[in-house]
Every structure is written in structure tokens, then in C-alpha cells.
Amino acid sequence: GKVAAQLDAKNYHDYKPTAMKAVLAAHQRLTQKHDVVVVEGAGSPAEINLRDRDIANMGFAEEVDCPVIIVADIDRGGVFAHLTGTLDCLSQSEQDRVIGFVINKFRGDRSLLTSGNDWLEQKTGKPVLAVLPYLQGLYLDSEDSVAVEQHTTDAKLKVVVPVYPRISNHNDLDAMRAHPQLDVELVGPQLTPNHPPADLIVLMGSKNTQADLTWFKAQGWDKTLAKHLRYGGKVLAICGGMQMLGELIADPDGIESLQKESCNGLGYLPLTTTMTNSKELTLKQGVIALPKQSPVPINGYEIHAGDSQYQLNEVTRVVIDDSDNDNVGAGFLSSDQQIFASYWHGLMDTPQALNAIITWASNGDSFDEIDYEALREQSIDALADSLEEEFDWERYREVINKFT
């Protein structure tokens, strides 16, 4: 999508009727192209204070007249209270479109759940359509936030990631986090900043680069970064992270922030960035050729509002964009070769590109090659197999036919 406006919570709520038009148009396009459309809600469908003008849950379901399945994770505890409480908070018309429940992430003896399921069905008149097991070791994208699991095995490369409040495209880390020879530690806000040592610091993308840069400094990361580079550490900066390392970030039209202002960057890269109304949305392919390494293919995508200008004589281009040979932002090294910066998201999803980047970060160490895309596909297959096996398809067909 493209940025329509920068709104605070109150103004966003007022904007929702306009946003609903775009949501309904997207739904119509999908239903015209596909036989079945699965619509995933956001958060809880029973947020009473947000029900007016809701566009993501029951408000949308009522608008397009679709059936609803309520899903709850049992590993959080209180699953039956969660399901019955949610149902009770819905209006009668909303309750009528709920065709059943799914209990997710169950561990242990399934028979211990039988009496609870029977009670739930008797109390609500709605069937439990599935009890899905907790599946370990899946390599799947996190939905809305950065997952916190870390490697506990001995690692050859220590990677530290500042988790600023408006971090974006956190799935850029997934391939690194799946690698058994990397220890990836995510560091959020701290009352007394105490940042762990690292071989590589990764600066991720941001939904509001200036605001996250302010947070970055307030948390003492500017001092940590200076020390890290002074002692020879490496930095990987992606999209907004690259903009932070430049000399200036200008937002004269208030694209990312309500304040139409500029701020100084950290000054490690010879570039200036201006936020613009036009947003880059492009799939990318190219070649990455880091020092003392053979060139290998690299894929990614650009999704950003910033337009950066570079001092070409002070950078070394290491990623060549197949579709735009002049695209410096595809990937370059700082003059001291300690910082690798790129506008491309997903640049580590292919095994050759990931290996090239971590080999550079480790000053030439060798690593096992893992194919994260293959791991992700295997995980999706495992999830689909579990759903196919555990779902009560006969009961599902019965209730869905009654609804339609």
C-alpha cells in the first residue's frame, strides 16, 4: 500500500469510513479472482471501545456478510473464558454469524480437553471445529511484532538488533535467526541502557525514521554504535536504518511525522534523504559482490517513501540492480567497508546472499548454507498438514452450509 496520510489515533478513527471503502474494494477484487477468500481479523473482535467504525473484524464481517470462526490460543491460559467472553461481548447479529471455534497451540493429552469442549458447545450452541497442536520449530513470518526467541547454541557470529518502537519489515531478520551458527539478540527499550557486545549490529527499517532516530539516541545506541565501529565492528543498515546513518533526513511535507521538519542523521554515510509523497514499491533482482567474494544472485524489494542522494566517490557499490544499473541504494559499503547499507528488504532470504553478508560481517569466516525460503515452505506445508488432519471438516461443511 501507499501512504494516504499521517494521522494520530483520533483522526485515524475519524478516517475509518474512508478506509473501509478501500478495504471493501480490495475484498471485491479478491472475490472476483478466487473461489474462496479467508479474511483474517486483527486483535480481538470484541473491542467494545473500537467497535464503532471497525474495519478489521466484525464491522467488516457484517459489511460483507461473511461467516466468522473465533480462534483462541490455549497456551496463554483461560481459553474457555476467552471464547465465551468474546462471544458475549458481540451483538446478537454478530453472534449469529459465528459458526464455531478453533482452539490453537494445544500441548498435552487431548482427552483432558473433552469436558471443556463439551461445556463450551453446550453453553454457546457453537461447535469446536478444531483443536490444533502446538507445532515446534516452524519458520514462519511474525505477524505484527518482532518475535523474541533467540538461539541458545554456540554461535560463530553475534548479531544485535536495536528494536525501536516503529520498527518495520522485521521479517528481514528471519533468515539470520534461522541460521544455527548465528546468535541474534533483539534489544528493546531499557531503563538503564546496557547493550550487549556484537560482531554485527543490524539497523532495521522504520515506519517513522526521525522518531526512531530520536529513540535510538535516547537509548544510548549512538554511543554504542560509535564504540562498535571504533573497534572494528560491522553494521548492516536496511532502508530506514540506512537513512538514520546518513547526514540529513528531511520531511518537508510531513510524510512520516506530523512535524514538517528535518533532523541530522548519525553522519556515518554520505547521503541525505528527503521524504516524498511518491512511494517506491518494486520487486528487485541483482548481484551482490562483496570484497574477496565471488558475485552471487540477490533478490529483494523496495518499499519506502524516502529519496536519497549519495556522494558516489565515498561509497563502494556492491549490489548491482538488474533493472536499474544506477540504483546506488541497492547496496553499497562505506569507505572503511564496515557498513553495508541497502534499501532492499528481503535481501538475506536466499542462501547465497545470506552467506555473502555474514561472511563479510565475520571478516571472511565460513558458514553452513541454509535455504530459509525452503524452510519456510516446509513450515507452511507442516501447518497445512496439521490443519487438514485436525479440522472437523464434516462439521465445518454442515455449519457453513447453514450460514450460506
200-203 vs 157-162, strand pairing mode: parallel
Residue 132 DSSP SS3: strand
Q: Active-site residue 263, yes or no?
A: no
Q: Return the biggest CA–CA distance within the chain.
A: 73
Average pLDDT, the chain: 92
Name the catalytic one among 82, 195, 228, 345: 345
Average pLDDT over residues 263-274: 96
Residue 198's pLDDT band (boundaries 50, 70, 90)? very high
Name the catalytic one among 170, 239, 263, 304: 239
Among 319, 173, 292, 314, residue whose Cα is nearest residue 241: 173
Given this model, what pLDDT does residue 152 score?
52
Given this model, what pLDDT does residue 276 score?
86
Given this model, what pLDDT does residue 2 score?
65
Q: Active-site residue 345, yes or no?
A: yes
Q: Which domains does the chain have, with CATH numbers?
A: 38-134 (3.40.50.300), 157-370 (3.40.50.880)
Express each pLDDT in 125-147 by its tens digit. Answer: 999 999 999 999 888 876 655 65
Q: In what order do the strands lie in the sheet with 98-106?
A: 68-73, 98-106, 128-133
